[in-house]
Amino acid sequence: MKQIVRSMWVVAAMLSSTTSARAAAEDTGAAATRALAVARAANLSGEIALGYAGGEVFDQAFGLADRERGRPHRSGARWLWASVTKQVTATLVMQQVEAGQIALDQPIRAYLPWFAGSSGDKVTIRHLLQHVSGLPNPNDTKPNAQDVQAFYTKTGAAIGDTARARGFCSGTPMAAPGAGFSYNNCDYLVLGAILEQVTGQSFAALVAERIAKPLGLRSLRMAADKAPRGGGAPIGYTTGGKRYPVINVATFGAAGALTGTARDLVRLDLALVQGKLLKDASRAILWSGDPKLGYEALGVWSFAAKLRGCVAPVALIERRGDVGGTQVRNVIAPALGRAIAVFTNDDSVDFGEVWQGKGLSFDLLSAAFCQAGG
């Protein structure tokens, strides 16, 4: 507990009033140019958006959205946000915590009295947010001939967050609550159901009303049921340059079905930095990484990393996603007032781990956040 409290103080410190001044010290356009050079050197195909609080967002596309037809990526295209959706879901949950409608340490059944699973009185909201619930995992369902789990091919009314909470996600648990980290989309599908229950609105309506409309994010919306590629413009590819198998992106719900532009994702990040969506205290909780869980916070990972060209370690808020052949790396540097979103339509790209001090993510973040990062 002391480690978590200390982490909250670190988050509060890195969100000081000096943010805008420090971010404006260097031209963000130059940083974007450096990051783009890194992407091109790595033969990355996709789009990068980079911005700072109170300033302009730069974005540029490169490579092919459709390899067979030679169709290039274009700036402002619709991308699958994949599990960055979880970042949005966690933000909506914290808004309800502020409103007094949700408490992080209350169990599922406090909000979904009909939840049938034996975990209903044991698994808390915090457990769900940090993937330590032990609930059944959709990734364990039987795959089809294309190696896609059955859970992600369903269509119709049965794929909604509340329907999933009533059905698959309330099945026999895989582990005891709090026993250990296990990444699981059911955690956020159940959170989506809880949000719908306490607000009386659909998850899609909440995103539109609480996130998209106040921030002017016109591209942000949920993937429609059975929409090809979830409505995303790029075609997703996998190992060997093969097209990613057909899935129904809408089945990911509050765990991974949001879509939108790279630019709007960075605008969302910067709105969080500027306190436009949550109060400082709530944001500090949201971004407090737990060392025992690999520095996972609530819906994101929060840690400090040494980057090339920065004198001191940089506090980072990271959210990554991978669905339908699309990968996204979304990273905020709150003390610098900066955020970067990197999308690629190739799920075979190895981004590496920032903390290892090498690899594509390390090079991109060094270029984006440090004076001599490139």
How far apart CA 247 and CA 151 sit, in angstroms, is: 10
Smallest Cα–Cα separation from 321: which of 289, 344, 304, 353? 344
Q: What angle do CA 66, 269, 274 make, to 5 degrees?
A: 155
CB under 8 A, 24+ apart: contacts of 105-110: 108/190, 108/194
For the entire predicted model, the pTM comes to 0.93
DSSP alpha helix (H) spans, 50-184: 84-98, 125-129, 161-166
The answer as to whether 242 is a domain residue is yes
How far apart CA 263 and CA 220 sit, in angstroms, is: 11
| pLDDT score at 206 | 98
| pLDDT score at 28 | 81
- The DSSP code sequence of 38-58 is HHHHTT--EEEEEEETTS-EE
* Sign of the alpha-carbon dihedral angle for 190, 264, 46, 356: negative
| pLDDT score at 145 | 86
| pLDDT tens, per residue, the chain with 374 residues | 334 434 443 444 444 434 443 444 357 889 999 999 999 999 999 999 999 998 889 999 999 999 999 999 999 999 999 999 999 999 999 999 999 999 999 999 999 999 998 899 999 999 999 999 999 999 999 999 888 999 999 999 999 999 999 999 999 999 999 999 999 999 999 999 999 999 999 999 999 999 999 999 999 999 999 999 999 999 999 999 999 999 999 999 999 999 999 999 999 999 999 999 999 999 999 999 999 999 999 999 999 999 999 999 999 999 999 999 999 999 999 999 999 999 999 999 999 999 999 999 999 999 999 976 54
The answer as to whether 356 is a domain residue is yes
What type of residue is 93? V
CATH number, domain with residue 329: 3.40.710.10
The answer as to whether 133 is a domain residue is yes
The answer as to whether 374 is a domain residue is no
- Number of structural domains found in the chain: 1
| pLDDT score at 371 | 75
| pLDDT score at 27 | 77
Catalytic residue list: 83
Domain that holds residue 216: 2-369
Q: Which two tokens stand for residue 131?
A: 């993937």
